[in-house]
Amino acid sequence: MGSGSPQGQARVAPRCVGRSIAATMLSMITVESLTKTYGRGMTAVDDVSFTAATGRVTGFLGPNGAGKSTTMRIMVGLTPATSGTATVDGRRFTDLPNPGRDVGVLLDASAQHAGRTGREILTLAQRTMGLPRTRVQEMLDLVSLTEDEADRRVRNYSLGMRQRLGIGAALLGDPHVLILDEPANGLDPAGIRWMRDLLRGYADRGGTVLLSSHLLHEIEVIADDLVVIGKGRIVARGTKADLLAAAGTVVRARDSVALAAAMEGAGLKITAHADGSVHTDASSDRVGEIALARGLVLTELRAADGAGLEEMFLELTADTQREGVAA
């Protein structure tokens, strides 16, 4: 758990209880040609289309201001789309008769009513959805909030505790779809591992997870599929394995300036990083040939898939970064 909960590091949440997700429905999130414009021609989301499939975790990635949160708010009916659709099994979120039983949502853990206790927040949701009263305690146990914490005002919660409460609220109705925006914010390493195992198990039982996060390593560990957005448009989508395999080559040399010049002179498109590495879509063989012809000594030459998600993310969103910070 996040700071403010001394017992958090030692807690192990129990397995989720309730109906089998796989037995309820095979659900898919479908976003088609979604566009959101504001006054003066500002386009926050620009013709976005993707799917999040049943039994898989889909990572939704992009820099700050790329359109992730706007897209997710449209998906759950909080922001109207200018055009296009976002549906779960062909139905809009606002058309679902009891949305919390179908789609669990966590967009902003800080938006919870600060004057209520965690137990009260879950109880109100339980009554609204017509669930058994026992479900509240099941969720408190699942997210490892103690009796004392459950009866504490949310204004006195740490961010990590609010995130756990928010995850509990999203799972309360035992939905078959989860839409989560930055759920790991405020969680300590033990809490992040707990959340990762929880969501992985949820998907493995047949649930559908759409997960936005700036913690690229966590996305790399848990995600099956990736959707990358920049300046409101999709810049890449596909399975994690396919996207990483197509990420090109990473190379370093004793003279990084000469290496970059040689590669550009040979017609390669490159991205030079602050750590001295150079990334290109060209093959390792082609890069090696260029270096050999110029007499350059290489200190590293490898396929970029070994660099992982961060390397791929920075390359795909190089033109959309704000101050070079990924989020």
User: Residue 48: beta bridge partners?
Assistant: 34
Question: C-alpha dihedral over 202, 98, 36, 242, to 10 degrees?
Answer: 20
pLDDT at position 324 = 43
Q: What is the mean pLDDT of residues 308-312?
A: 69
Residue 220's CB is within 10 A of a number of other CB atoms, namely 17
pLDDT band of residue 165 (cuts 50, 70, 90) is very high
Domains defined along the chain, listed by start: 8-239 (3.40.50.300), 248-307 (3.30.70)
Residue 324's CB is within 10 A of a number of other CB atoms, namely 10
Furthest C-alpha separation in the chain: 73
Q: What is the pLDDT of residues 102-115, one digit of tens each?
A: 999 999 888 889 99
Q: What is the pLDDT of residues 36-74, one digit of tens each?
A: 999 878 999 999 999 999 999 999 998 888 899 999 999
Q: What is the mean pLDDT of residues 254-263?
A: 92
pTM of the full predicted structure? 0.76
Which residues lie closer than 8 Å to 101 by C-beta, 6 or more apart? 129, 173, 174, 175
